[in-house]
Amino acid sequence: MEQFQRKLKLEAKGQLYDMLLALGQQILDNHNPCDWRNGKCRRMRSSKDDGGCCEGCKHLGSKGCTVESLACRLWLCESQRDIFRECEIELKVLRQVADYCGIPYEIRKSKEENFTVQTQPYP
């Protein structure tokens, strides 16, 4: 019975992860803080000395993140956080829900990577 309950709890967390991911993506789509163009975000295009927060990530594609990374959908770099304050507030609410519900979301990790090894949530 315990094993069954753990499986149900994990499935419920997986469903909540998917829901938070979709909501986070919707918020990003509405505000467009990253503004991906030709494989570069707004920060990458405007900064001469910084490649941006996603540079070097194995999941980075020409239009942004290529996997279901909850942390990457719920996070903004500092430069965009200051400009897109409403977006940051909306994403923060989703981070708080994830934290409260114990949903694993580590930056630069896919859903599968997050659920394979239990990690600590990103603050």
Residues 65-107: tens digit of each pLDDT: 789 899 989 999 888 999 999 999 999 999 999 999 999 999 8
CA atoms in the 13 A half-sphere facing the CB of 8: 5
Residue percentage of the chain with pLDDT more than 70: 85
Q: Which helix (H) or strand (E) holds 61?
A: strand 60-61
pTM confidence score:
0.82
42 three-state secondary structure: helix
